[in-house]
Amino acid sequence: GDAEHPERLASALEEIDVRSTMCVPLIARRRTLGAVLFVGAESGRRFDEGDLRLAEELAARAAVAVDNSRLFFEAEHRAEAARALDSIADAVFLVDGTGAIRIWNAAARTITGLAGEEVRGRPARDVFSGWSEIATVAGAVPHTVPVTVDGRELWISISGVASSEGTAYAFRDVTADRRLDRLKSDFVATVSHELRTPLAAVYGAAMTLAGRDFGDRDDIRRELVQQIADQAERLSAIVDDILLVGRIESGGLTLEPARVDPLEVSRAAVDAARIRAGEAP
């Protein structure tokens, strides 16, 4: 109030006919938090050395109370912030200017398997393999990078924001997503191979029919036509398998057990291989 505006304070002191004043600082932990002003007016009393010592003692006690109140508020605020960090799904940790980890939330513990007491105070490079590369790419936009943490290989999507206290990083475990992407790539490669095999058989049988004169050998023609039909059926089965994958992902899969004749499966595979080799059935 008036302490922030000296001219108003001086005017107020003149109005109450001040006879004596004392001003003592509020000091706690070697920091000045403020000051206390004592004023003697109507009583006509003038403050002496004893009054000053008493005022200094009162100011010291008041400073401790104010400082404790501020410390309690800061501790409460930090506790609330810690609870908030532990309630989010993303892993969050803070690396200070020396490169040491200072904050490590519950999600970081869950993803890495490392408790906060195991990593706080340790250099980030000792916790994450390849930390220099991670720190370079981890900006405001998340980047996906491979890391090794406590002997475990992980893929994480990580971002970082710099502040006066260091750099705060947030990351998610995308190992399962990377594994799924790899499975999808393998699936596409497998499907491509499986489609190519019966297509080659159909093509070979069709070219044999078109390019050779079998005379009265209707049995050979029937065999080649049957081969085309069998491989076309196989192509249809592969397409059904692809659609089946879609139903699995959507949760609409229904299992129907059926008997399979291994002899017929083997015979179809041999016939397809013979056609690819250019042999007549």
Which helix (H) or strand (E) segment holds residue 11: the answer is: helix 6-15
φ, ψ at 33 (rounded to 5°):
-95, -20
Residue type (1 letter), 129 = S
Query: Which pLDDT value is given to residue 100?
Result: 92
How far is Cα 193 from Cα 197, in angstroms, rounded to an integer?
Answer: 6
Residue 235 has pLDDT above 60, yes or no: yes
Query: Which pLDDT value is given to residue 123?
Result: 92
Tell me the average pLDDT across 76-83.
Answer: 63
The number of beta carbons lying within 10 Å of the beta carbon of residue 69 is 10
Q: What is the pTM of this model?
A: 0.46
Read out DSSP for 162-182? EETTEEEEEEEE-HHHHHHHH
Query: Which pLDDT value is given to residue 4?
Result: 54
The number of beta carbons lying within 10 Å of the beta carbon of residue 102 is 15
The number of beta carbons lying within 10 Å of the beta carbon of residue 212 is 13
Residue with tokens 């206290």: 165
Quickly state the pLDDT bin for 252 (edges 50, 70, 90): low
Tell me the average pLDDT across 196-201.
Answer: 81
Quickly state the pLDDT bin for 81 (edges 50, 70, 90): low
Q: Report pLDDT digits (tens) over 262-271.
A: 898 888 778 7
What are the CA-CA distances from residue 146 to residues 152, 153, 171, 279 (Å)?
A: 10, 7, 12, 50
Q: Report pLDDT digits (tens) over 143-196.
A: 888 888 888 888 888 888 888 888 888 888 888 888 877 877 777 777 777 778
Residue 281 has pLDDT above 60, yes or no: no
252-275 burial, b if ≥16 CB within 10 A, otherwise e?
Answer: eeeeeeeeeeeeeeeebeebbebb
Query: Which pLDDT value is given to residue 279?
Result: 54
The encoded tokens of residue 244 equal 């089946």
Tell me the average pLDDT across 5-10.
Answer: 63
Tell me the average pLDDT across 84-107.
Answer: 82
Q: Report pLDDT digits (tens) over 48-66.
A: 888 888 888 888 888 888 8
Read out DSSP for 34-102? EEEEEEE-TT-----HHHHHHHHHHHHHHHHHHHHHHHHHHHHHHHHHHHHHHHSSSEEEEE-TTSBEE
Query: Which pLDDT value is given to residue 12?
Result: 63
How far is Cα 7 from Cα 257, in angstroms, rounded to an integer?
Answer: 95
Query: Which pLDDT value is given to residue 280?
Result: 47
Quickly state the pLDDT bin for 142 (edges 50, 70, 90): confident
Beta bridge mates, 35: 25
First-to-last alpha carbon distance for the chain, in angstroms, is: 106
Quickly state the pLDDT bin for 77 (edges 50, 70, 90): low
- Closest by CA to 108, choosing from 176, 164, 156, 177, is 156
Q: Contact, 196 vs 204, CB < 8 A?
A: no
Query: Which pLDDT value is given to residue 7?
Result: 67
Mean pLDDT rounded to a whole number for the chain: 79
Tell me the average pLDDT across 250-277.
Answer: 76
